[in-house]
């Protein structure tokens, strides 16, 4: 047992002793006690509990732990409770060694490989589906933006054609009015013609009706 493991086990033991007295059952899970002392990894907490069980500081009873002794573990202290033999693990290792020696895959190996491959394929399919949904959403937004741009372009084109037509009409009306004024032999444009020109510039359509010249127009 190295120094770091010893310190963790003693810190865990002190946290348990702060909660219960010797002989009492711990009222919380060992993982909660481990988090209180800054041990976040479950494997590290399990090693600390196992070290305390092996040195008779804790006792397991019906899935709970009883505090037997709050004395910290001393460096070099031997285990008092022998660890259970891992017969099954040895058998599994022997089977694996035999399989490796035969160089022939077993049904269990093929099954594990197939399951692992299926899991990987499932993850790839899920990622591809998410990418497809994102691409379809982006394409839909792009189509909507394109349709909106086309509608605005058509509206602007119609407005441009309308303004061009009105400009051409205004130019024609102005030419008609100026030609009529010159045909009357007048050097100056009368008030009536000026009003007509102003109406054309303000957006009036079609040439105005001719009216008889007034006395003020001949001045």
CA-CA distance, 68 to 55, in Å (whole number)? 10
> In a 3-state reduction of DSSP, which class is residue 67?
strand
Q: What is the pLDDT of residue 68?
A: 87
Please give the average per-residue pLDDT across 56-75, as a whole number.
86
Highest mean predicted confidence (pLDDT) among 5-14, 75-84, 143-152, 209-218 = 143-152
Last residue of a domain, one of 37, 67, 97: 67
| Per-residue pLDDT at 212 | 45
SS3 (DSSP) at 59: strand
Query: For 209, which DSSP code?
Result: P
Interval 145-167: pLDDT, tens: 999 999 999 999 999 999 988 88
What is the model's pLDDT at position 148?
92
Count how many domains the chain has: 2
In a domain, 194, yes or no: yes
In a domain, 95, yes or no: no
pTM: 0.38
- Establish if 103 belongs to a structural domain: no
- Residue-wise pLDDT for 85-141, tens only, equals 555 555 566 656 655 555 566 778 888 888 988 988 988 898 888 888 888 988 999
Q: Is the pLDDT of residue 172 over 60?
A: yes
Residue 62 falls inside a structural domain = yes
What does the pLDDT read at residue 166?
Answer: 85
CATH of residue 63's domain is 1.10.10
Domain carrying residue 191 = 168-218
Q: What is the average per-residue pLDDT within 54-80?
A: 84
17 belongs to a structural domain: yes
- pLDDT for residue 180: 74
Domain finish residue from 27, 46, 67: 67
Three-state SS annotation for 152-208: HHHHHHHHHHHHHHHHHHHHHHHHHHHHHHHHCCCCCCCHHHHHHHHHHHCCCCCCC
- The Cβ of residue 76 has, within 10 Å, a number of other Cβ atoms equal to 7
pLDDT in tens, 178-215: 777 667 655 555 566 566 666 666 655 444 444 444 44
| Residues in a beta bridge with 64 | 61
Residue at 200 is within a domain: yes
Q: Does residue 82 fall inside a structural domain?
A: no
């Amino acid at each position: 047992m190295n120094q770091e493991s010893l310190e963790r086990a003693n810190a865990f033991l002190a946290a348990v002793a702060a909660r219960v007295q010797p002989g009492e059952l711990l009222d919380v899970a060992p993982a909660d006690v481990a988090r209180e002392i800054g041990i976040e990894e479950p494997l590290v907490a399990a090693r600390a509990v196992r070290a305390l069980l092996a040195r008779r500081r804790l006792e397991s009873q019906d899935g709970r732990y009883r505090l037997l002794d709050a004395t910290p573990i001393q460096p070099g202290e031997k285990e008092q409770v022998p660890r259970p033999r891992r017969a099954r693990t040895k058998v599994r290792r022997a089977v694996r060694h035999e399989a490796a020696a035969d160089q022939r895959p077993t049904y269990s190996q093929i099954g594990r490989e197939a399951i692992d491959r299926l899991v990987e394929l499932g993850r790839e399919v899920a990622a591809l589906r998410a990418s497809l949904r994102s691409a379809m959403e982006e394409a839909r937004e792009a189509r909507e933006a394109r349709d909106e741009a086309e509608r605005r372009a058509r509206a602007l084109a119609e407005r441009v054609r309308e303004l061009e037509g009105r400009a051409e009409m205004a130019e024609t009306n102005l030419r008609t009015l100026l030609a009529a004024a010159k045909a009357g032999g007048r050097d100056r444009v009368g008030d009536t013609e000026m009003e007509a020109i102003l109406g054309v510039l303000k957006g009036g359509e079609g040439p105005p009706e001719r009216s008889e010249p007034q006395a003020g127009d001949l001045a």
